[in-house]
Amino acid sequence: MSSIPEQCLNEKVFQKLFGHSFVQCWIPRASRRLKKLVKKREKRAQQLQDEEVALINESNRGRLARLLFSLPNFNWMRRARSNEPDVEKVKLFQKTAPTKKDVDIQSNEVQISINERSTFTSEPPSPAVGKIKSTRSDLHILNQQIDKLRQEYQAGKGKHMNAAFIEFDSFANAQAAFQSIHQHQPFQMCRQVIGVKPGEIVWSCLRMKWWERLLREFVVTVLIGGCVVVWIMPIAFVEFVTSSPMVGRVPGVSELPQLAVNAISGLGRALLMWALLEFAPSLMRVCAKLAGVPTLTAIEHFVHKRYFIFQTLQIFLGPMIRPTPVGFFSNIPYLNQQVPKASILYMSYILVRCLSAGATELIQLWQLFLNMTRSKRPGTPRKTYERAFELNVVHWGSVYPVMTTVGVIGKYLTQQRYHISLTFRSH
């Protein structure tokens, strides 16, 4: 529950409000500094792991190179056993006479050639070792700072956020509390989420008050409306470039039949529009976080609704309105000519999106290429673990609008056909 007034941020208030179904509650506090230090520590730990793995790989490559370079000097190993008898042919407990290769223990004299002697030289420390020591000292300091801030957080210091996590004794009571209104003042304690995991929460959005959230939602709505207007210019440029007369002027394409030119024009326009519209969902996710959407699922739902309207305006209604925006609704014959063209463009766009989804989600060519290239250079153990056990995030907010638009069009056509059939049958 978010947008809670400051006078209600108390466990006794929630216990009185929800009654016997209330178990316990957690009121989060502002921990921006602690969060920043934890992120810095994670970054330093990753840097330390990268430096250590790089130093190990470099040392191993140097060891293998020295071993490969010194392989021709291993003749003394074969020379030591050249004049000795075979062990399997020697009788049991047979004593052999000392040879010249034996060592005189009493005199403590061992004669070793200069090439066979081990050399011990003190080399200056490499810069990689200095970086590792510096990173370890930074991690030690960060651990001390984080432990101190955690102790202060557990002691109750810090400002409370305008949100609370409440636990109930049963799911039925939680659902009843979720569907009820707990505050007589509008826009307060009205944003409630049930059954959410901690990893799905956008913690930075929990501190917003109700008036700040409304102001941010208004600004985000204006920003998305401005994006709809701004996106008209590049899409109009794409329509002009990929028109049949412009495509027919390209060398090599002008010699093709008109049907092939029209196919290239339609496919190229759909591809370029798909590339332009791919940036819109990412921008809308940023707008959702600015608007104070508390969970990742709600962010995808936010993107789904806005992107559906954005897509319909830019691809379906845009080609009809852009040529003559003033006389669009008054000129009915012109409207009858432009609607089939817009529907053909939209179906081409849907076809390109379906083919791209089949290529990226089903075949996974890019992931296969990364798997083949990364197997030779796996990197750090943490990155190897993440590639093996973590799944890629699927942003459903940019996937469902395409299917939703097709479903809406199909449902409308089915409803019209059913309505016309009933009308003619009744008469």
Give residue-wise pLDDT tens across range 84-112. Answer: 555 444 444 444 444 444 444 444 445 55
Please report which confidence band the pLDDT of residue 140 belongs to, taking 50, 70 and 90 as the band edges: very high
pLDDT value at residue 99? 46
Q: At residue 120, what are phi and psi to the nearest 5 degrees?
A: -120, 110
CA neighbor of 6 nearest in space, from 207, 260, 282: 207
Assign residue 293 a region (left: φ > 0; alpha: ψ between -120 and 50; beta: otherwise): beta
What residue type is 16 in one-letter code? K
CA neighbor of 194 nearest in space, from 174, 172, 168: 174
pLDDT value at residue 218? 92
pLDDT value at residue 108? 47
Long-range contacts, 91-95 (Cβ 8 Å, 24+):
none
Tell me: pLDDT of 221 over 80: yes
Burial of 29 (C-beta count, 10 Å sphere; 0-12/13-18/19+): middle
What residue type is 239 in one-letter code? E
C-beta of residue 152 within 8 angstroms of C-beta of residue 4: no
Which DSSP letter does residue 83 get?
S
The pLDDT tens digits of the residues spanning 47-85 come to 898 888 888 888 888 888 888 776 655 454 444 454 555
pLDDT value at residue 145? 92
Tell me: pLDDT of 134 over 60: yes
Q: At residue 146, what are phi and psi to the nearest 5 degrees?
A: -65, -40
Q: At residue 135, what are phi and psi to the nearest 5 degrees?
A: -65, -40
The pLDDT tens digits of the residues spanning 244-270 come to 777 777 777 777 787 887 777 777 777
